[in-house]
Chain A
C-alpha cells in the first residue's frame, strides 16, 4: 500500500501536536518541546521563536542521559523527571514511554505542581501512541524516500560540503 506510506504517522503527529498545544495552554507555559533520546526535536508548541532549538534539544537529551547514568551509580533505574529552577524561568523535563523527552519551559505565571499534573496527563495520553509509532519505525523505517530524492540530496550535499 504505497499510498499509506506517504502519510506515515501524519494523523498521530497531529494528535501529538494538539496535545502539546493543549498542555502549553492549560499550564500557561511559555513553550513545550518534544525531543527524542538522540537529541532531535520532534515537535513543539507555544512560543519558541527566541529559543535555539537544536541546542536546547541536544542538551535536554544529554541532560537526561547523564542523569540516568547518575541514577545507575546509586542503583536507581532512571529518574523519570528533572526540574531546573531559575529566577525567572524554569524547565520541567519528563520521559514518555521510556523513549521521548517532554520539556516544559515556564515562568512564575504558573506553578510546578500544575505543570507536573498536566504533564502526567499528557504523558499517559501519548504513551501508547509512541509505543506503536516506535514499533513501526523499528520494523520499517526504510522506503521513506525515492531515487530522485537521493540524487537531489546528493547534489545539495556536494555543494554544501565543498
Chain B
C-alpha cells in the first residue's frame, strides 16, 4: 500500500533510509533535522539500544505545508543495519513509499553494502508485489575517506536499476538533500 488519502486532504509519505550499519543513515537524518526550518519539522526521535546503536529506528516528521488544499507530510525513518535486527527492519518497511539507500564507500564495507541491498530486495518482496516500482535513490556516502571503492564499481554492484545516485559526505551535509528531493518528488508524482 502506498500513499493514503483518507480524508482527501492529507498526504503522508513514508521514506525509509536503508543500508548497512554505521553507513551514515542517522547522520543523514540529523543533518536534515538541523537544516530544515523548525516550523516544518517535528522532534527527531531515536530508539537506541544501550549499546548506542539504533535498535528500532530514527524518526523525523517533516511538513511540506499545504499545497492546493492538501496538507503534505513526509515521515523519514532509518532502519538498524545490524544483521540480527531484520525483524525490526521489516516492520519499518511496512507501507514504505520511497527509499534512500545509504552505501558505505569504504573498501572493507563493500560486501556489507551488497548484503544490505539484497536484504532490502528480499524484505520488500514480502510486502510488495511490485517492489521495483517504489522510488529509490542511492547515496554513496563517506567519499571523504581515503580507502574507498570507485564510483563505477559501486554503481555496477549496487545500481542495476540505474536509479538516481550521488556521492555523499553526510557528516558535512554533502549529497544529503539531493537523493531526498529526488525520491520525494517521485513519490508525489506517483499520486497523479
Contacts and interface: CB of A to CB of B under 8 A. Distances in A.
Contact of A144 (B8, B64, B75): B8
Contacts of A160: 36-37, 40, 62, 64
Interface in A111-162: 133-134, 137-138, 141-150, 152-154, 156-158, 160-162
Interface stretch (A19-27, A33-41, A75-83): A33-41
A43 B10 CA distance: 10
B142 interface: no
B70 A6 contact: no
A154 B192 CA distance: 13
Contact of A10 (B7, B95, B192): B7
Contact of B42 (A7, A42, A54, A158): A54
Of the four ranges (under 10, 10 to 19, 20 to 34, 35 or more), the interface on chain B belongs to 35 or more
Interface string B32-61: 100111001011010100000000110101
A8 B72 CA distance: 17
Contact of B95 (A9, A36, A52, A149): A36
A8 B10 CA distance: 12
A144 B68 contact: no
Interface stretch (B109-117, B155-163, B179-187): B179-187
B192 A153 contact: no
B42 to A, nearest CB: 5
A58 B45 contact: yes
Contacts of A6: 8
Contact of B14 (A40, A62, A66): A40
Contacts of A9: 6-8
Interface residues of A, number: 46
A147 B4 contact: no
Contact of B1 (A13, A138, A146, A156): A138
A149 B70 contact: yes
A62 B9 CA distance: 25
B189 interface: yes
B120 to A, nearest CB: 17
B173 to A, nearest CB: 11
A43 B7 contact: yes
A38 B8 contact: no
A65 interface: yes
B91 A152 contact: no
Contact of A153 (B45, B56, B188): B188
Interface of A: 6-10, 13, 36-40, 42-43, 52, 54-55, 58-59, 61-62, 65-66, 69, 133-134, 137-138, 141-150, 152-154, 156-158, 160-162
Given A9-B6, A13-B8, 13 more contacts: A6-B8, A10-B7, A10-B8, A40-B95, A42-B4, A58-B75, A65-B91, A141-B4, A145-B191, A150-B189, A157-B181, A157-B188, A161-B177
6 contacts: A9-B8, A38-B12, A42-B6, A66-B87, A141-B3, A161-B36
